[in-house]
Chains A and B, each alone.
Chain A
Amino acid sequence: MTLRRLFALSSLAFLIVLAFSPVKNALRPYRALQRQFRLVGIARASSGKAAEAYSSRPIAIQQVWIPELNNRVDRCTTCHLGVVDAAMTTATEPFRTHPPTFHTPRDVQRFGCTACHGGEGLATDQADAHGTSADATSPILPADLIEAGCGRCHDAEAVRDAPTLSAGRALMTKSNCFACHKARGHEDFRADAPPLETLSMKTGAEWLRRWLSNPKAVDANATMPNFQLTGDDIKVLSHYLFARPVPPQLQHAIELAGAEPNGDSARGKTLFAESRCISCHTVGGKGNGSAPELGTIASRASRGWLIAFVRDPHAFYPQTKMPRYSFTDADVRDIVAWFEDELKDFDAPANILTPLRVNQTFAEKGEKLFKSAGCFACHSGVKEGERFGPDLYGIGDRKATSLDFGKLTDLPRTLAGWLDAKITTPRSFASGLKMPTFAFDAAQKRAIVTALLAMPATAVPDAYHSSPVQQAAIVPAGPVGEIMTRYRCLSCHQIGRAGGDISTAPLTFEGSKVNHDWLVNYLAVPYSIRPIIAERMPVLKVSKEEAGRLADAIAMIYVDPSTPDDPFLGRPASDHDAAEGERLYTTFGCRSCHIIGKIGGYYGPPLTETKARLKPGWVFRFLQNPQRWRADVRCPNYGMTDTDALRLTAYLETLAEAPAVPVAAAAPARKEAAK
């Protein structure tokens, strides 16, 4: 009897245990959500048929399975039921339609969800799927860092539609992060910090002390971070830097320049303005800011050094972006005379440029510190494959539990939070850490964290990889190449995919664009083609002979095979065509951006001298598709017919007035505006 009772009881217990699993399954949150989705769908359905489709949706786990993308299984759509449902654009989460992006909705079946968003694809409850715990292998990316997902497949520095990621990558390169840290794709990175050999003849102990204690406080454009050096560190480093031998030719050049008579300061001021130095430098914060601030330059460098440097910057600093202007000796003397008169720190002590008397013991200590603090990583280059700091391989996939938070107990235990603290106050984690402090603002930090989270532990399969087309700029060898290197054309202009971004005019097809004779004159005496842009082509004092050689080479090398020399070949333009073109100029509203004569806007280049400047074949091709020239050209594509494009070209080619440089005062100069 007791046995029987026991049996009955244990059977009952067994049944309860057995029932546990189906009951648990029936109570899982996604089932309630799916039932709720049916109701939301029915309420939003546009027809009875659609409503029925919603009501007959099975209550079951949904998934996207992508064997070719590391056998990914994403069950996110089990709860996020409206991801590709256009009726759900205004629904609340988790049912809301995915906002349209380049890849959604069209690539959902190809990528799934977690490839971009992170998260645990297999999980079907919210906490596990979103990876909210510290030991989650793949926590979901927060919305403000979502572009990290783009970077896992897209390798290029600039990724379209991902401005935060692109900014972060550019900032990491500019800040020389890869000089110390190894990262995929940056193995060959070389920092271009200036060599320090002539420092002892350039500046004084006091200036160096100020610089080493906080470079950004001395020069807002400084790339060098703050190494938080102690007074002793700065002392020994200064002794080491002042003890370094100056190469004999440079020493000679600096000494000779220092002994030259004073120049004409007023002429120097004019020359400085004419030369458009602030297309890269700043004076009192005004200018492009990609090169040092010159507002207190005469309290930063000695007169002899400045004269010798401006005459031949490449001898001092081979990697510099600064062109070697064809100034006369007197020109440079005059410019530096103006620096000495006005671009000075008038509050600085008199000894700011007094050199240090070297103590050999300190200098030896300083040499050790130069190595142990990592200064060499940017200033002397590093050996192949050797980096001073830890690798960044796979940093974007580090589990939060594997990170050393050190003394920082109040930080959120997330990878993003850890990275943010690392780039804000790198040395607060523990004592003895060596990473310097960068002065990034909140947006810059977000961009860098995005770029770091985009560094996966395992690369995506090749079929999903999007690598940039590596295309080196074609710069001819021989004398023309030397001229182009001397004037550092590529510091501002792009050729192909290489080069700087200061200029809005790529040189890739320059030979097909401008007339040879116009170019010779322009190179000799450049003027402002786009009145609203602050960065203008510097007056490099190119000689007529050099200008001729450059123009010859450009006309031969930098040509677009699909641009016709003569668009009117076989269909000559008549006066009627030009008149029709003039009418089209009005119909299309071109004058809202372009000036002809005295009428028109300041957005695009004035067209008054089109005949002298632009080749008709290029004008014709440009009008057909302006963005073909450069993707970010602002001139809209009017989708005009070939006939209209030809007529407009015929009209523009009648415009042959002398260039009337518009008064800039009427239109305040805008940076970026027409880029």
Chain B
Amino acid sequence: MRRRNLLIASVLLLVATSCRRANRPASAVAIPRPTQYELRLGKEVYQSYCIGCHGDSGAGDGFNAFNLDPHPRDLSDPVFQKGKSNAELADAVRRGGAGVGLTSLMPPWGHTLDDRHIDAVVLYIRSMRR
């Protein structure tokens, strides 16, 4: 019995690994887009803490932006979005501009927001891509 199970498992594994490469692009397409529900926490966080400088659409045109030199990042810029991984974005939110070698005008939020809020706001930032 055990032997048979093992056999089945190894066959399945073989099939699976052989399928894996072929399946990759298909599964990448099948990644479900975050629902409004999943975005809502990130939206709440963004509109509380980020909107003042980064603006409603993420374009870096918040009402406080005109004071700031360097100017706040345009988060909706596709080039910027493509160049940064989720982990890098979360890190910049957590440690602030100074923490990642940029301007200290972007404060660190790691002591104010918890990981769940930071991950949520990164997900929301992703949804702002033009």
Give A residues with C-beta under 8 Å from B: 38-39, 42-43, 48, 51-52, 55-56, 90, 92-93, 96, 99-102, 143-144, 146, 161, 163, 532, 586-589, 591-593, 600-603, 626-627, 632, 634, 636-639, 666-668, 670, 673-674
With A100-B119, A589-B105, A636-B96 given, name 12 new contacts (CB 8 A): A42-B12, A43-B16, A55-B13, A90-B27, A92-B30, A99-B37, A100-B120, A636-B108, A636-B112, A638-B111, A667-B63, A667-B64
Q: How far is B32's CA from A477's CA once the two chains are assembled, in angstroms?
A: 60
Complex contact B19–A601 (CB within 8 A):
no
Looking at chain B's contact residues, the main secondary structure is helix
B116 nearest CB across to chain A (Å): 5
**When A51-B13, A589-B104 are in contact, do A602 and B111 touch as well, CB less than 8 Å?**
no
6 example contacts (A-B, Cβ-Cβ < 8 A) are as follows A43-B23, A90-B30, A587-B104, A634-B49, A636-B108, A673-B63
Give B residues with C-beta under 8 Å from A: 5, 8-9, 12-13, 16, 19-20, 23, 27, 30-32, 35-38, 40-41, 44, 48-49, 52-53, 63-64, 66-68, 96-98, 103-112, 116, 119-120
Complex contact A56–B111 (CB within 8 A):
no
Complex contact B16–A592 (CB within 8 A):
no
Complex contact A51–B16 (CB within 8 A):
yes
Complex contact B98–A55 (CB within 8 A):
no
Q: How far is B38's CA from A341's CA once the two chains are assembled, in angstroms?
A: 53
**When A592-B53, A638-B108, A673-B63 are in contact, do A99 and B31 touch as well, CB less than 8 Å?**
no
Complex contact B35–A143 (CB within 8 A):
yes
Number of A-B contacts (CB under 8 A): 111
Residues in chain A near residue B105, CB distance under 8 A: 589, 591-592
- Counting from the closest, the 8 A-B pairs by CB-CB distance are A589-B104, A637-B111, A639-B111, A592-B105, A55-B9, A42-B16, A636-B107, A601-B67
Residues in chain B near residue A100, CB distance under 8 A: 116, 119-120
Residues in chain A near residue B107, CB distance under 8 A: 588-589, 592, 636, 638
Q: How far is B16's CA from A68's CA once the two chains are assembled, in angstroms?
A: 42
Which of A56, A586, A638 touches B5 (beta carbons < 8 Å)?
A56
A89 to chain B: closest residue by CB:
B31
Q: How far is B37's CA from A591's CA once the two chains are assembled, in angstroms?
A: 35
Residues in chain A near residue B48, CB distance under 8 A: 632, 634
Q: Which of A48, A51, A99 has the most CB of B within 10 A?
A: A99
Q: How far is B113's CA from A634's CA once the two chains are assembled, in angstroms?
A: 11
A593 nearest CB across to chain B (Å): 7
Complex contact B52–A603 (CB within 8 A):
yes
B52 nearest CB across to chain A (Å): 5
Residues in chain B near residue A92, CB distance under 8 A: 30, 32
Residues in chain B near residue A143, CB distance under 8 A: 35-37
**When A588-B104, A636-B112 are in contact, do A601 and B32 touch as well, CB less than 8 Å?**
no
Q: How far is B37's CA from A93's CA once the two chains are assembled, in angstroms?
A: 15
B124 nearest CB across to chain A (Å): 13
Residues in chain A near residue B111, CB distance under 8 A: 636-639
Looking at chain A's contact residues, the main secondary structure is loop
Which of B32, B98, B119 touches A90 (beta carbons < 8 Å)?
B32
**When A99-B38, A100-B116, A632-B48 are in contact, do A43 and B20 touch as well, CB less than 8 Å?**
yes
Q: How far is B68's CA from A593's CA once the two chains are assembled, in angstroms?
A: 9
Residues in chain B near residue A602, CB distance under 8 A: 63-64, 67
**When A51-B13, A589-B107, A600-B67 are in contact, do A163 and B40 touch as well, CB less than 8 Å?**
yes
A667 to chain B: closest residue by CB:
B63
Complex contact A532–B5 (CB within 8 A):
no
**When A589-B107, A638-B108 are in contact, do A39 and B16 touch as well, CB less than 8 Å?**
yes
Which of A51, A161, A589, A627 touches B97 (beta carbons < 8 Å)?
A589
Q: How far is B35's CA from A143's CA once the two chains are assembled, in angstroms?
A: 9
**When A38-B12, A56-B9 are in contact, do A146 and B37 touch as well, CB less than 8 Å?**
yes
B73 nearest CB across to chain A (Å): 13
Residues in chain A near residue B41, CB distance under 8 A: 101, 161
Residues in chain B near residue A163, CB distance under 8 A: 40, 44
Complex contact B98–A587 (CB within 8 A):
yes
Q: How far is B9's CA from A667's CA once the two chains are assembled, in angstroms?
A: 66
Complex contact B63–A670 (CB within 8 A):
yes
A195 nearest CB across to chain B (Å): 39
Q: How far is B125's CA from A401's CA once the two chains are assembled, in angstroms?
A: 43
Q: Which of A39, A93, A592, A636 has the most CB of B within 10 A?
A: A592
B107 nearest CB across to chain A (Å): 4
Residues in chain B near residue A48, CB distance under 8 A: 13
Complex contact A589–B106 (CB within 8 A):
yes
Complex contact A637–B112 (CB within 8 A):
yes
Q: How far is B35's CA from A144's CA once the two chains are assembled, in angstroms?
A: 10
Which of B5, B40, B68, B116 touches A601 (beta carbons < 8 Å)?
B68
Residues in chain A near residue B98, CB distance under 8 A: 587, 589
B104 to chain A: closest residue by CB:
A589
A161 to chain B: closest residue by CB:
B41
Residues in chain B near residue A161, CB distance under 8 A: 41
B120 nearest CB across to chain A (Å): 8
Complex contact B116–A586 (CB within 8 A):
no
Which of B5, B12, B32, B68 touches A96 (beta carbons < 8 Å)?
B32
B67 nearest CB across to chain A (Å): 4
Residues in chain A near residue B108, CB distance under 8 A: 636, 638-639
Residues in chain B near residue A668, CB distance under 8 A: 63
A287 nearest CB across to chain B (Å): 19
Residues in chain B near residue A588, CB distance under 8 A: 104, 107
